[in-house]
Amino acid sequence: MKIQNIQTLIEQRFTEMQEIRRFLHMHPELSYEEFETANYICAYYDRLGIPYERNVGGNGIVARIEGALPGRTVALRADFDALPIQEETGVSYQSTVPNVSHACGHDGHTATLLIVAKTLFENREQLAGTYIMLHQHAEEITPGGAKAMVAAGCLEGVDAVFGTHLWSQFESGSVQTCPGPMMAGADRFVLKVTGAGGHGAMPHTTIDAIALTAQIVSTLQQIVARRINPTSPAVLTVGSFHSGDAFNIIAGTAEITGTVRTFSTEVRENIVFEMERIIKGLCDAAGASFDFEYTRGHPPVINHPEMAKQVLTTASTIPGVSSVQVMEANMVGEDFSYYLNEKPGSFFFTGAKPTDGPAYPHHHPKFNFDEKAMVIAGKTLATLATNFASESVVANDFHI
């Protein structure tokens, strides 16, 4: 079967894709709580007669489509968890769950992959190879669902893996990726400082946790600026600072939380070493104690160069794609990295900037995306998969 026919069928199913997305959008579930979402996906496959395995590494689902002709095995991934964010879009299909919403597009990813699976399955007699649909839970949390699904064997027998993220900050109709490092490793830290509180009028009798922790925050910013090679990307962000409860009391405790983003294990470990050294030194000097917890999260997403070039080349052939670009590496984290640590493959962004309003960033209460971008994502994923599975891979002629 010509891939153009697959692409046409996916495009003709936009209304169904939109209906799936909007239903899921109205019924979001948090990471590790996606039981009804998993049931919905399984019921969809049951109606089509596509075999699948559920509860893979948790709430994960792995569906399998066998082409009638011999070929390679390719996996496609979509995540389906939501975020603890109260939606403020005001759309007719807004989340019905208080303080939970699909503020990152995972509902769109799931709708896209289900339509791709339906289209491939209905045309399996004319397809070569095997197609694995990875429906992943818990992408938004550490440890994420990808790690557990890989450990459960979801990639056994797979020759390559591809995935995409609908990206509200890129123009709809665009596809972007890059060979090598694409998204950063994402770590989390928590620091609790314990000093000695007291009356605001008698600071000499206290160990001021606010002043000390503020000094720590300021000094931590020097790590990336002065201790890390400037050619090595790194981010250290303090995202929260909590202390005190009265205007005239010097706080005895303070807590900060934050994140570290890197592409290199060596850089990450250097940052951890410097953080521990700074925190201990300043607390010792002030006579305070501390509790420092550093959680190593998702590793960086590092695309296999040839696979990333294949994404770029393939995307340039997709009807409706107006722009194909090599993007700069992004410091946002993604647990798709666990798949790429095991198998060749590539992750890519599908531009989904809204055409009818502001482009709010991911994880924003007013986040939304251009739903027609799901068609671009679906056609690109399906074309990548069928070309790879049949070994009729287009030459990597995209110039970087």
Contacts of 37 (CB under 8 A, 6+ apart): 24, 27, 28, 29, 59, 80, 81, 110
Query: Distance between CA 389 and CA 132 in Å, rounded?
Result: 11
Sign, Cα dihedral of 353, 356, 360, 365: negative
CA proximity to 139, closest of 334, 348, 342: 334
Q: Which two tokens stand for residue 226?
A: 């002065």
Amino acid present at 38: A
Beta bridge partners of 375: none
Two tokens, residue 63: 């569906």
Q: Which member of 139, 140, 208, 370 is catalytic?
A: 139
Record the tokens describing residue 357, joined without a space: 């309003």
Please confirm whether the linkage preceding 84 is cis (ω < 30° from 0).
no
CB 82 within 8 A of CB 172: no
Residues 6 or more apart whose Cβ sits within 8 Å of residue 70:
128, 129
Catalytic residue among 29, 34, 79, 81: 81
**In the Cβ-directed half-sphere of 345, how many Cα atoms lie within 13 Å?**
27
> With contact defined as beta carbons under 8 Å apart, do 198 and 321 qualify?
no
Catalytic residue at 81? yes
Closest CA to 333 of 112, 135, 152, 165: 165
Q: Is there a contact between 282 and 219 (Cβ–Cβ < 8 Å)?
A: yes
Q: Is 46 a catalytic residue?
A: no
Q: CA 42, CA 86: separation in Å to the nearest integer?
A: 27
Q: What is the DSSP letter of 40?
A: H
Q: Give the residue numbers annotated as catalytic, written as ranges.
A: 81, 139
